[in-house]
Amino acid sequence: MATDSSVDEVSSNSPVVLITGCSTGLGRALVLEAASQGLRVIATARKISAIENLRAPNIAILTLDVTASMSQLEDFANKALTVFGQVDILINNAGYPLVGALEEVSSDQTLGIFKTNFFGSLNVANVFLPHFRARHSGTIINISSMMPYITTPGSGPYTATKAALDSITKVWAGELAPFKIRVMGVSLGFTRTELLGSNLNTVENTVKNPIPDYTIVRELHEQVRALYGHEPNDVQKVAKRIFDVVLTHNELPVMFPLGDDAVTSADEYLNQRRSEFEKWKELGMGVSADD
């Protein structure tokens, strides 16, 4: 649900961007980058206190829990649209990680991460789509991950949420094109945020009953912990590149790998899939009905 904190009035014709998950990391970097480029920004987080220090003449702050009910999200959208009178760009950034073998992650944990990482983006976008369709204008940016390209052991639930998000990004791109609504998914590489730090160690992100046999998963978890603070991508450069692409190109890629590691992983994934397809395509043919 949403509650607003009083914001300074801004007289401007610049685009309005609404960003979810702004308390830390990429969300916060996106807010600061958007403001520096002269956009009007609506920054959101579950706790208003976490983003209070972002308030500025062109930055409004609102409370938003992306897992709220549809009626609460509709109320939020109505409230958000009164701040600057419109929303031009929606960036679905809210999400969290979870490391564990599929067998040892509880169903509640899997449902929980889907509620935030997938349904949160789906539902928040859906409550703004009537506004976008009415204006025949709008942009939806879904912050995804390169993980669907590499699918490492122990990343199953998180990777599944991002793969699902990628799928609806592609569907939206087709469904919303007639309304001149642009849609882009960002397949983000490892970036220096708290995703692999404190975000990985909260209660909902920790396997409660680990199975000793899954040594491969424990090894991965240690590798992930070791990567924290040494991720190859700079969060502010990532934020800047996203806005550079969105603001300077009329046509957007449906999926945009961002970061050298993400681009390399995407390239390898596509080559592997093409090789596999060529090997098996003949066996996939010849089953058409005779009539």
pLDDT (tens digit, 0 to 9) for every residue of the chain, 291 residues total?
Answer: 444 444 444 446 899 999 999 999 999 999 999 999 999 999 999 999 999 999 999 999 999 999 999 999 999 999 999 999 999 999 999 999 998 999 999 999 999 999 999 999 999 999 999 999 999 999 999 999 999 999 889 999 999 999 999 999 999 999 999 999 999 999 999 998 877 666 565 545 678 888 999 999 988 878 878 888 888 899 999 999 999 999 999 999 999 999 999 999 999 999 999 999 999 999 999 999 998
How far from 238 is each of 10, 63, 219, CA to CA, in Å?
A: 27, 25, 28
pLDDT of residue 229: 83
Q: Which residues pair with 18 in a beta bridge?
A: 42, 90
Distance CA 16, CA 130 (A): 16
Residue 152: strand, helix, or coil:
coil
DSSP 226-256: HHTT--SB-HHHHHHHHHHHHHH-SS--SEE
Distance CA 186, CA 193 (A): 16
pLDDT of residue 204: 54
Q: List Cβ neighbours of 147 (8 Å cut-off, separation of 6 or more).
A: 155, 158, 159, 162
User: Of the residues 144, 145, 155, 265, which is catalytic?
Assistant: 144
Fill in the amino acid letter for 130: P
* CATH topology classification for 16-277: Rossmann fold (3.40.50)
Quote the pTM value: 0.93
User: Of the residues 96, 121, 155, 162, which is catalytic?
Assistant: 162
The secondary structure of residue 116, as a DSSP letter, is: I
pLDDT of residue 206: 73
- Closest listed residue to residue 228, CA positions, set 200, 270, 267, 269: 200
Asked if 208 is an active-site residue, the reply is no
What b-and-e string marks burial along 200-237, b requiring 16 or more CB atoms within 10 Å of the CB?
beeeebebeeeeeebeebbebbeebeeebeebebebbe
Fill in the amino acid letter for 230: H
**Whether the Cβ atoms of residue 73 and residue 127 lie closer than 8 Å to each other:** yes
Asked if 158 is an active-site residue, the reply is yes
pLDDT of residue 43: 99
Distance CA 286, CA 272 (A): 24
Distance CA 242, CA 62 (A): 22
Asked if 23 is an active-site residue, the reply is yes
Over residues 231-280, the pLDDT tens digits come to: 889 999 999 999 999 999 999 999 999 999 999 999 999 999 999 999 99
User: Of the residues 23, 121, 145, 265, which is catalytic?
Assistant: 23
Q: List Cβ neighbours of 134 (8 Å cut-off, separation of 6 or more).
A: none
Burial class (CB in 10 A: 0-12, 13-18, 19+), 269: middle
Q: Which residues pair with 59 in a beta bridge?
A: 41, 56
Maximum CA extent, the chain: 70
The secondary structure of residue 37, as a DSSP letter, is: T
The helix (run of H) or strand (run of E) holding residue 140 is strand 138-143
User: Of the residues 121, 149, 155, 158, which is catalytic?
Assistant: 158
pLDDT of residue 194: 75
